[in-house]
Chain A
Amino acid sequence: MTRPNTQVMNRAALTKRILGKLHKREAVVGGIGNSNWDLWAAAPSRPENFYMLGSMGLAAPIALGVALAQPERRVLALEGDGSLLMQLGCLSTIAAQAPRNLIIVVWDNAIYQITGGQPTPAAQSGTDWVAIARASGIAKSHWAADEAEFDTLIETALTTDGPHLIAARIDSEPGRHQTDRDPVRFAQAFTRAMALPIG
């Protein structure tokens, strides 16, 4: 299996589509750089967003921790392909714990965009994220063929038992707005938001 010939979409646009579907104080963990910059661009003051800094590859593990602590809350990780590649073992950990409320979204631009656009080894080799996720034990893993299917996959993931993984091919546009660099405030706001009941 290789990366399928799905439509190339845009991370900022897809992130907005995700945020438009969140009405129950779902937690969203943005991965390093562009993933959280576009999350910031979509909803900067949303306290249920967690904007990670330099711990490349840890968006999905952080989201797993939230999901295990709060099984009733839906939790999304938005992660770049290079970042996921750095921490692939977490897919097995997630599959083993099988949190029903966890959703991983993989932004596949085939490059390390933020560091200069170098191709990832996964892109050079034709690595298929969905095949890897399924082989790791996350059965509900899908490529989004286009925006309409992306919407459907997110809606299904928000309303049915997971864990879910959704991969989207995206263009090489950088993130729209850099986040504030205020990690202590982000952690405190997120912690307070997680103490509130889901909507």
Chain B
Amino acid sequence: MTTAAPSHWPGEILAAFKAQDVRLVPYVPDNVLRPLIAAIEADPHFTAFPCAREEEAIGIAAGAVMSGMRAACLMQTSGFATLPNALASLVCAFQLPVVMVVSERGTLGEFNPGQAIVCRTMRPILDSMGIEHHTLTRLDECGFQADRALRQAFATRWPACLILSPLLTARPQ
């Protein structure tokens, strides 16, 4: 298991969520996301809760964003891999600004062969649907990337995905 390096990336993401008025955060947990989930759950600005499945989180975010509440779905790489149908037939077909934040497993030191293969599917899936994605690797850039990606998603009414690389979440900063 990788353990999160003592850095402030969760604070950067949280600040970007707040700046872009994201309030709803449905998630399926992941160890790397733990400090982000903890920070969001501790902050009364947010309504955050676990879902049984990532598709559910996407559905919840879709309903919320059409009803005036911005949302971001947190998940791990393997959770993302369950999503192509929901992304294509709901999020993309209806042009909904649903934001995903994916902690990237399966690269830079992965021990689980399955995770490594799943990881290779993620960017081709996103690219095939024209979903903009940004890989966050540096503490000094991640806040800017997150803020701008979310701003663009909501302004252009199109989904976006932030990929949290081990370079951000595991590398000593």
| Interface assignment of B35: CB less than 8 Å from any CB of chain A | no
Looking at A54, A69, A87, A194, which has the most chain B CB atoms within 10 Å of its CB? A69
What residues on B are CB-neighbors of A92 within 8 Å? 52
A89-B56, A92-B52 are known contacts. Are A187 and B89 too (CB-CB below 8 A)? no
What residues on B are CB-neighbors of A59 within 8 Å? 59
**In the complex, residue of chain A having the shortest beta-carbon distance to the beta carbon of B88:** A54
Q: In whole Å, how far is A76's beta carbon from the nearest beta carbon of chain B?
A: 12
A68-B24, A92-B52, A96-B49 are known contacts. Are A55 and B64 too (CB-CB below 8 A)? no
- Contact call A69/B24, Cβ cutoff below 8 A: yes
- Contact call B66/A54, Cβ cutoff below 8 A: no
| Interface assignment of A62: CB less than 8 Å from any CB of chain B | yes
| Interface assignment of B93: CB less than 8 Å from any CB of chain A | yes
**In the complex, residue of chain B having the shortest beta-carbon distance to the beta carbon of A88:** B52
| Interface assignment of B12: CB less than 8 Å from any CB of chain A | no
A55-B90, A93-B51, A187-B95 are known contacts. Are A66 and B59 too (CB-CB below 8 A)? no
The 8 A CB mask of A90-122 against B (1 = contact, 0 = none) is 101100110000000000000000000000000
- Contact call B66/A55, Cβ cutoff below 8 A: no
| Among candidates B59, B67, B69, B85, residue contacting A61 with C-beta atoms closer than 8 Å | B59
Instruction: Scan residues 48-91 of chain A and give those whose CB is less than 8 A from a CB of chain B.
Output: 50, 52-70, 73, 87, 89-90
Interface contacts (Cβ under 8 Å), in number, total 121
- Contact call A65/B68, Cβ cutoff below 8 A: no
Assembled-state Cα–Cα distance A62/B89 (Å): 13
What residues on B are CB-neighbors of A69 within 8 Å? 24, 63-64, 67-69
A27-B67, A184-B95 are known contacts. Are A93 and B89 too (CB-CB below 8 A)? no
Interface of A is mostly: helix
| Among candidates B24, B66, B93, residue contacting A50 with C-beta atoms closer than 8 Å | B66
What residues on B are CB-neighbors of A29 within 8 Å? 63
| Among candidates B47, B59, B69, B95, residue contacting A62 with C-beta atoms closer than 8 Å | B59
- Contact call A187/B66, Cβ cutoff below 8 A: yes
- Contact call A61/B94, Cβ cutoff below 8 A: no
**In the complex, residue of chain A having the shortest beta-carbon distance to the beta carbon of B57:** A61
The 8 A CB mask of B6-28 against A (1 = contact, 0 = none) is 00000000000000000010000
Q: In whole Å, how far is A177's beta carbon from the nearest beta carbon of chain B?
A: 20
| Interface assignment of A126: CB less than 8 Å from any CB of chain B | no
The 8 A CB mask of B46-81 against A (1 = contact, 0 = none) is 010111110111111111111111010000000000
A57-B55, A90-B56, A187-B95 are known contacts. Are A65 and B86 too (CB-CB below 8 A)? no
Interface residues in chain A, defined as those with a beta carbon under 8 Å from any beta carbon in chain B? 27, 29, 50, 52-70, 73, 87, 89-90, 92-93, 96-97, 183-184, 186-187, 190-191, 194-195
Given contacts A184-B95, A187-B95, 11 further A-B contacts (CB under 8 A): A53-B89, A53-B94, A58-B56, A58-B86, A61-B56, A61-B58, A68-B64, A70-B68, A92-B52, A191-B67, A194-B68
Interface residues in chain B, defined as those with a beta carbon under 8 Å from any beta carbon in chain A? 24, 47, 49-53, 55-69, 71, 85-86, 88-90, 93-96
